[in-house]
Structures are given as structure tokens and as C-alpha cells.
Structure 1
Amino acid sequence: MYVLSLVLVSLMENSGSSSILRNRSFLNTSSGPTAEGASKILEKDVGQKLRRLEVDVNEDGFGSKLISCVRIVTCFVTMMVTTLIWALIMLVLLPWPYERIRQGNVYGHVTGRLMMRILGNPVQIEGAEFANKRAIFISNHASPLDIFPIMWLTPTGTVGIAKKEVIWYPLFGQLYVLANHLRIDRSNPTAAIESLKEAAQAVVRKKLSLIIFPEGTRSADGRLLPFKKGFIHLALQTRLPIVPIVLIGTHRAWRKGSLRVRPTPLTIKYLSPISTDDWTADKIDEYIRMLHDLYVQHLPDSQRPLALAESTNGTKS
């Protein structure tokens, strides 16, 4: 839910119009027997139909590209259906703000899992024991595909932060607001700082978690970008631990501006929580460097900043 606007933009940019983790017991995605049962039936039916389309073709051949386009369009249509269903649920739940947040997460679990099943990428998850903590979850952002595992795997009780203009995205923006997620005013630095303070207060008051892309935008080539400072300010104000999520391989599976989705294996790593209890405002740059370096350590050369990747290769040789 908290990434709905990013999903819409990603699909519009890239479409113009299998083995998945079998045991997710560490995440609570139950939304009642009707929604749970319907999502499993839909997931099974869509997966079977797409597998029947698979043919023995060259990876970049016409048949392969056609299947990729079918997958993307199926994702878009499926997401529109689930979005409409949960929009109705949110309207019914207007008097209960926290329940709307929870249902927003359930929407993400159902929709994100469906998207990953449709796209057909094998997923390996490491460090799942850290996925249920109340924390600030951060993730690198290298592909339109990143949105779907984040939706699927983010625990219940988590909100994201979007720019206030998200409300103007048709359907998705309104659902984002209905789900009671957070928005900030990025029109000027003073307003942005004030919005972050209000967001932090809401997170503390409602005992929520956060999910943020610290790079602030999607990488064009999959390589890690510099981190913004906003999530550090939120950590200082909420004192929540930071749980890094490292996404590996998504930049190869779905490249920016491409219509080709490849069945590349993906790895999703939850790293150990990092306590922020003793952090101080005068060391913000130090914390940024520490977390950025942590990602560099866990990413392959193809996703490290170019200068660092070249340095590593030179050392190996």
C-alpha cells in the first residue's frame, strides 16, 4: 500500500498499458478466510496459465518477449482488481484508522505475492528472523520489480512515507490515503523537516514500523546510489532500530525502461537490526556512511557503486 504510487509509475514506465518461498509463517498476512482463499485460488490459476505459455525459445527471442509482455499486463490487471477490492474494504473501515493500516499491509502481502508468482522469479530469503521486529526497514532500489517483494514481505503494522502529491495518482493515491499511511511536504526544506517530525510522532504514537528507500529514487543501472538523510532523522526521533533489506538481482530481472522481465533468481537479505538508542544528531554523516558501507559489503560487484566495484576488482586481480 505504502508503495502504490511507485508501483503505478513503474508499470507505466515499463509496460505502457518458479519457485517462490514456500513458508512465510514469519509474516502474518491473514485477512480472513475469504480474502486468503481467493488470493490462493487466483495465484494458482494465474501461475498455471502462465506456465502453459512457457516455450523453448531464446531468452531474448520474440516468444520470450511476448511472454514477458503477457506477464506485465497480467500484473497490471491483477493489481487493479485487488486495488479495487481493498478500496471498498478501506471505505468500510473509515472509523478505524489502525485497522486501515493493517488492511493496507494485507493488501500488499496478497498483491505483492501475486505479482511475484506471475513474474516467475525464484526468490531466496535470508535473515527472515529479523522480519517481524518493529523497526525502520530500509532497502536499496534498483528495479521496478523491487516494489513487489517489499509489498509482500513487509510485516503488518508498517507504513511508508510518500510525498503529499501522491493523492493525485488515480485510484492508487486515494487508496494510499485511505490506508492511513504517511505523507510529507517536500516543497521546501523547512516544510519537509516539519513533515518528518509529524511522521515520527505518528509512528511513535501508533507503535508502527516504517519502510523507506534511503537512496530516494530508483537506480538507473542497478548500482547503489548515495543515501539521503531523512531516514536517519526519523531514527533519531523514533529510536527504532534499523533493519537493512538487501535486494540482489532485481536489476537484472527487470531493467529500467525495458519491456523484458527475465526469470532471474532473486535474493532478499534481512540484515541484523542496528540499534539507534545511543545515536546523536552530530554524527548523521557517520551513520549514513556506515549503512552505505554495509550495503556495499553485501551487494555483488554489479550493484556496487562503480568506483568501489572497480576498486574491489583491482584488489582481486
Structure 2
Amino acid sequence: MESSGASSFLRNRNLESFLNASSIDTFGVSSKALAKEEVGYRPRTDGYVDEDGWFSELISWIRIVTCFLSMMVTTFIWALIMVVLIQWPYERIRQGNIYGHVTGRLLMWILGNPIKFEGLEYADEKAIYICNHASPIDIFLIMWLTPTGTVGIAKKEIIWYPLFGQLYVLANHLRIDRSNPTAAIKSMREAAHAVVKSNLSLIIFPEGTRSKNGRLLPFKKGFVHLALQSRRPVVPVVLTGTHLAWRKGSLHVRPAPLTVKFLPPVKTDEWTADHIDEYVEMIHDMYVKHLPESQRPHSSNAATRNNSVS
């Protein structure tokens, strides 16, 4: 959990500071560390029980529509900013991160889920951040929490996602070609080169897709290839409860408690290309250890089943 000093600091921040370029460098995760009062944090010791019924459905729809409209507004505003900064690629990355900080924080406030944070001291590294993925809420949290100077990596087809995809490209985030292994490996090399050249961090979902039931899927190898080529440490970010809060294929958002846990950085300086499978399994096992039983894969050997590149 964050210190009381960080909480006090954040309580005195306002939206204006998000947009102030002079404060961008201090807006990493530790300073975003989220005053408990602002995110509706409440310690939970009881088990979570689904809240169904027409009133719960109505509240859920109101939250979703409000999220959508809010995201449309912030996306439009930052798209204009990106167009103005079209000649300055790194500034577009910084503004893309500010967009994520503002939008992600706003959306989580609208949804109102209680959130517990752990390991925030590991959240300001120049690193490859990886995250398990089981809900749209994962995207909101990662947008909010990754430090300034972080780029995402997604399939090249993201450009066709209305408005958000175009902003993703304008923000100078990275895209990879997953049409075949050769193209994927080449894309990974180019992504690693861009990360090192511009001294950036990177965020990637190693499962490659969203889990349908919250259980951890096998990890693909892309994050290890990126680590080998960039020598960035790997920081696992473990999310729990998001699959209960917003289930795949559902439009009912529930007030399930969430946990965001940053694990200590895993150094990659001595990693070698002939042990890729071992590194994938090692990191996957870290997630298995830190996830609750309901989110663990049925087999702890699942990490070795998928040998895709990305």
C-alpha cells in the first residue's frame, strides 16, 4: 500500500495538474498512487456476492454510458492535442500517457469499485510491464497506472478501432504484425529498438487475449523477446477481481473489490535466447503464486503449451 504521505499529496492534486507539462515527470505510479478516498477504497474482509436485479442493472447501464461518453470527450480532446504535436513524437507519447492517466482514473471513479494497491514502489521503473487480462477494466487500470514514458504494444489492426485506434497511433504507441511468426519477430525487434532508442517503458498483455473466466491463460513469448533485445527488467502487474467486476461478453458492471499488485522487477541482464521457455514459465508461475485459486489455471504447466511469438 502507498504511504500516507503519498495519499496526502494526491488529495491536493486536481485535474489542472494532470494537464500541466511541468508536473508530468512526477506523475508516475507512485505519485498517481491514488488517494484511497479518491478511488473509493474500502477494506473488504467479506466475500463478494453478485448484485443482480433491475436496479443493479440500471445503475450498471448508467455507469457504462457515462464511461463511454467521458471517454469520447477525453479522446477527442487529446486527439486534437496529438494533431498539434504531430512533429514531436516523444511529446505525443507523453501526452498519450497523460490521456491515459486522466481517462483511466476518471473511468475507475465512475465505475466505483473499491481498489487495493500493493507494490507501488515498483511502479516507476523503466521496464517492461506485463499484466494478466480478463476484463475491459484491466485496460482502464493500466492506462491510469503506467508511468509517463510508457508505450503500449498491440496488433496492427487496432488502427481500425473507431477514434481510440486513431488516438493510439497518434500517441506513437507500437503495433506489431501477427500475420505470421516471421513478421511478428521482426515487429518485436523494431518495438524493442524503439523502446531503447527513446528510453521508454512498455506495457504488454502476455496472454495475447482476454481470459473468458478470469483464469490465467498460457503466456506467449513476445515479452521475453522484448526483454532480450531491450534488457529492460520485467515488472509483473497482477490484477484480481476485474473478471468479476466486468465479465467478458457482459454489459453488467458489478462493484466487486479489485486488487492491483506490482511485483518486484525481474532483472533480464543475464537472460539468454536458449532459455526462453524457462523464462516464460518462471514469470507465469509468479502469477500462479499471487493469484487467488479462482483465477489460477487448471494446470500449472499451462505456460508451456503455447509457443507463439506474441
TM-score in terms of structure 1 length: 0.80
Q: Which structure shows the higher helix fraction?
A: 1
CA distance in 1, matches of 2:281, 2:187: 25
2:252 pairs with 1:252: no
In structure 2, the partner of 1:54 is: none
SS at match of 2:19: coil
Asked whether the 8 Å contact 2:119–2:262 carries over to 1, the reply is: yes
Query: Which consecutive residues of structure 1, in runs of 5 or more, have no partner in the other structure?
Result: 1-20, 37-46, 48-57, 310-317
Evaluate the alpha carbon distance shift between residue 282 and residue 97 of structure 1 in structure 2; reply closer, same or farther with a 3 A threshold: same
| CA positional deviation for 1:308 | 4.9
Residues 221 and 306 from structure 1, CA distance in 2 versus in 1: closer, same or farther, beyond 3 angstroms? same
Sequence identity, in percent?
A: 71
Q: Distance in 2 between matches of 1:208 and 1:306?
A: 35
- Aligned 1:117-156 pairs, distance under 5 A: 117-156=109-148
**Matches of 2:300 and 2:153, distance apart in 1:** 30
| Distance 1:264-1:68 versus aligned 2 partners, 3 A rule | same
| Equivalence for 1:269 | 261
- Which residue among 108, 116, 137 is the counterpart of 2:108? 116
Q: 1:265: how far off?
A: 1.0
Q: Work out the CA distance in 2 between the residues paired with 1:162 and 1:259.
A: 24
Deviation at 1:23, TM superposition (A): 6.0
- Counterpart amino acid of 1:98? Y
Structure 1 consecutive aligned stretches of length 4 or more whose deviation exceeds 6 Å: none
Give, in angstroms, the shift of residue 30 of structure 1.
Answer: 3.0
Q: Give the RMSD, CA atoms, in angstroms.
A: 2.2
Partner residue, 2:65: 73
CA distance in 2, matches of 1:306, 1:62: 34
Match of 2:211 among 219, 225, 230: 219
Q: Map 1:58-207 onto structure 2 (within 5 A).
A: 59-207=51-199
Gaps of 5+ in 2: 1-5, 25-38, 40-49, 302-310
Give, as a single letter, the amino acid of the residue that structure 1 aligns with 2:255: P
Query: 1:164 Cα shift?
Result: 1.4
Aligned partners of 2:240 and 2:133: how far apart in 1?
A: 10
Which digits, 9 at most, give the CA deviation of each residue in 1:12-35, with x for residues without a partner?
A: xxxxxxxxx95686x9x73229x9
What is the deviation of 1:72? 0.5
CA distance in 1: counterparts of 2:292 and 2:161, whole angstroms: 35
Q: AA paired with 1:89?
A: I
Alpha-carbon distance in structure 2 between the residues aligned to 1:23 and 1:117: 18
Count of residue pairs brought into register by the alignment: 266
Which amino acid in structure 1 is aligned with residue 229 of structure 2?
Q
